[in-house]
Amino acid sequence: MLQITNLKKVFKTAGDDVVAVNDVSLSVADGQFASIIGKSGSGKSTLLSLLGALDKPTSGHIIVGDKDITKMHDRALIQYRGRKIGFVFQSYNLVPNLTALENVMLPMEYAKLAKSERIKRATHLLDQVGLSADQHSRKPGKLSGGQQQRVAIARALANKPSLILADEPTGNLDSQTGTMIFKLLHELSRTENTTIVVVTHDLSISGKTDVTFTLRDGKLVKK
């Protein structure tokens, strides 16, 4: 269960304080596929970075499982990010000089998995997201956008996270590939029983998720 209570994030600027996330409360059940929609600047990505412990909220609580991540120390947050969360970014953010296989192995290395185990699991995940064997040893520059996003999804699944956070995962893809990626994420939420939260402004996608949250000016306006 992902539970957010009275979450607030204020950015200090030279002129005025900007409230990016304003008193948001929501909950997502385990294995649910949730989407957060809203216009640009509505606070979607900020909310996602708070959920992923990439940033710290000004106030409020985020409870994942039975732990409040807003009260964790930096070292515990690194472990939380590495083992409990998987990230999928709009522009894939793969390490350019590593192969697809090495990119997927990277989070497992930080989680201190044995090398043989890393290779085995990374190969399985790449197969699972539909990357052919010859593509495993390719660097991101030699893969298409859709293939790169598949690698990114495999990387997000590497440490069997309980929560996958995806920021505009289909934003850089054509509609056909975007639909395929969406289906893949949807399938994974079912097969891996992983909670997936997707930030998107693609209404065709948001309509097909289990639950959709709408943000406007940092506030949750619709569930």
Partner 1 sequence: MNVFSRGIRNAFRNSIRTFSIVLILGLIIGLSLAMLVARQAVSQKISSVESSVGNTVSISPAGVRGFSGGGNPLTATQIAPIQKLSHVTSVDESLSDRLTSSTTNLQSSIDAGSLGRRFAGNDGGQNIAQSGGFSGGNEGSATATFSPPVIVLGTTNPSDLSNTEGGGTFKLTSGKVFASTSTDNVAVIGSSLATKNNLQVGSTFTAYSTTITVLGIFDAGNTFSNSQLIMPLVTLQTLSGQAGDITSAVATVDSITNVDSVTTAIKNQLGSAADVTNAATQAQNTIAPLKNIQTISLYSLIGAVIAGAVIILLTMIMIVRERRREIGVIKAIGASNINIMVQFMTEAITLTFLGSIIGIGLGVVAGNPITKLLVTNSANSSAPTGAGRFGRAFGGITNSITSVHGTVGWSIILYGLGGALVIAILGSALASYFIAKVRPAEVMRAE
Binding site for partner 1 (CB under 8 A): 45-46, 48-49, 52, 54-55, 75, 78-79, 81-83, 87, 89-91, 93, 95-98, 102, 105-107, 109-111, 155, 158-159, 167-168
User: Shortest gap between Cβ of 61 and partner 1 (angstroms)?
Assistant: 18
Nearer to partner 1, 49 or 147 (CB): 49
User: Shortest gap between Cβ of 55 and partner 1 (angstroms)?
Assistant: 4
User: Shortest gap between Cβ of 94 and partner 1 (angstroms)?
Assistant: 8
User: Shortest gap between Cβ of 213 and partner 1 (angstroms)?
Assistant: 17
Q: Which DSSP letter does residue 69 get?
A: G
Nearer to partner 1, 168 or 202 (CB): 168
User: Shortest gap between Cβ of 35 and partner 1 (angstroms)?
Assistant: 17
Q: Which two tokens stand for residue 72?
A: 């964790």
Nearer to partner 1, 137 or 190 (CB): 137
Burial of 141 (0-12, 13-18, 19+ CB in 10 A): exposed
Nearer to partner 1, 110 or 210 (CB): 110
**Long-range Cβ pairs for the range 52-57 (8 Å, 24+):** 52/81, 52/85, 52/87, 52/165, 53/77, 53/80, 53/81, 53/85, 54/81, 55/9, 57/7, 57/8, 57/9, 57/21
